[in-house]
Amino acid sequence: MSVEVSVDPSAAPSQQRGGQNLGSRERGNRFGVAVGWNWRRVAGRVLQGLARLLTAPIRAYLSLRRSMTVASVSVLLALFMTLNVIWGFPWNGMMGAAVGLLAVGFAINRIMCPRLKLSVSLPRSAVAGHPFSVNVRLTNARMLPALNLRVGWHREGVRDIYPRRSVTAWDASPSVSLDLLRSGDQMQWHGAMRFDGRGLHELPDFQVASTFPFYLFHCRRAMATDTQIAITPAPACDDDDSTTRALLAAIGDWAHQLVAGAPVEYVGNREYEVGVPVRRWDFASWARLGRPIVREYQSPSIQAVTLIVDTSQRPVDDRSASRAQLKQRTREAEEWFERLMSVTATAIAEITSRRVQLNLCLTHEPIVELPTRSLTQPTDGVELMLVRLAAATPVDPLTGQERLGEAIQTLGTQPTLIFSMLDLGDPERVGLAGTLPGHVTYMPIRPPKHEGRGAGSGDTDDR
């Protein structure tokens, strides 16, 4: 069989010309897009420059108004007074002196405005509502000295336009004054700060103000600290309400039963120390050695338990409720969640105080991981747990149930305590109610408003 192949000599050149035309079109489109983008950038910069130029008088007025002090206002009033009297030699001199004093004082104040380098040292975590120490080191990086300084966290003499911006969730020690800070010298600000809410908080800007010369104007600079601190939940107290007392009592009983059931064994003798019970005295060794000897017992191994905090929370979404009711329910949900965090912090302190290794699981974390090593430094381990509580956020109940099941399967037969804002009888926990092993204790955390009901917050479900 023979195959005939026919070639059209005009086909290849036409295809080549078509490819050349297609490539030129693509390059043209790209060039057009680039030119259009550059023109938009130029137009945006031009509009931004015009806006800054048009608003320059307003911004200058606001800057001058916010920087004025009692002294500059007094000079300004004297200037106004010279305009309302008969012109003469003394009044012209007073007006010139007032204008010169304001102009020269404002220029010198802006020229001598300090530029400082800042470094902040503070603890890794702190308890909500409790003060913690802060150390701020300031270094004068300019060739000119910094004069008449006022440094601190508070914006003194500045009133915000919007009142809600003035409501802050932190407080700090008052600002301090410094007359002179030479070039290259350092100063330290020691004080305390307090955050009222739990979470990972950024430190506010550190405020530096100079009133040189003659306290006529304020030159304020806000220095970003770029520092974050973990504010851990405040532990729950017995005197909060009856539901809290019952809950803390249930946690204490669970930890006591856990430790009481741990076996102990005799490991040897040692010399007597003040406070050792009489039943541990070894009279035979005492008579043989001639000095007090006591028997020593300890658990054969450190018992490990796991605390699972279920951060599941139903979303607050009721279209039939008014805005005020929705806001009230949102606030109650936030208080309920903070109550869960406070009870967890108390449980961590209670369990770790009994020399029991504690593993903490939080269902808001994507992966529930259990530490495989023992806590060589219990204090550091407790602090790390509290820092994790500071970053806790609510999750969907279905996600929480899925992660609860994964954590329970990972634990094996290890004693486990579960804190949750949902009961086992709730629709979101029906699938978990019948699968809890016998070593797992489920403890619901209810809000204080359920105090009048028969089932208190301390009720537990052992499965």
What does R_g of the chain's alpha carbons equal in angstroms? Answer: 36
> DSSP strand E in 142-257: where?
146-152, 170-172, 176-181, 186-195, 199-202, 206-210, 219-223, 228-232
For residue 105, with 0-12 CB atoms within 10 Å meaning exposed, 13-18 middle and 19 or more buried, which class applies? buried
pLDDT of residue 250: 85
How far apart CA 136 and CA 203 sit, in angstroms, is: 12
The pLDDT value given to residue 40: 78
Q: Residue 377 corresponds to which tokens in the numbers above?
A: 């430094």
Strand order in the sheet with 132-140: 116-121, 132-140, 186-195, 170-172
Q: Per the confidence metrics, is the pTM higher than 0.75? A: no
Q: Write the burial class of residue 242 (CB in 10 Å: 0-12 exposed, 13-18 middle, 19+ buried).
A: middle
Q: Please give the pLDDT value at position 279.
A: 63
- What pLDDT is stored for residue 356 in this prediction? 77
CA–CA distances in Å: residue 208 to residues 136, 170, 191, 349, 377: 12, 18, 15, 40, 40
How confident is the model at residue 408, as a pLDDT? 86
In the predicted model, residues of the chain with pLDDT beneath 70 are 1-37, 85-89, 158-168, 238-240, 259-267, 272-280, 297-303, 318, 367-380, 448-463
> For 322, phi and psi rounded to 5 degrees?
-75, 175
The residue among 436, 397, 430 whose CA lies nearest residue 417 is 436
**Among 310, 429, 308, 419, CA closest to 369:** 308
Residue 416 to residue 414: CA distance in whole angstroms: 6
Element (H, E) at 285: helix 283-289
pLDDT of 450 reads: 44
Number of H helices and E strands in the chain, helices first, is 11, 18
Domains of the chain as residue ranges with CATH: 56-111 (no CATH), 116-158+168-232 (2.60.40.10), 242-259+301-462 (3.40.50), 266-298 (no CATH)
Both tokens of residue 23? 């490539």
Q: What is the pLDDT of residue 30?
A: 54
So what's the pLDDT on residue 191? 94
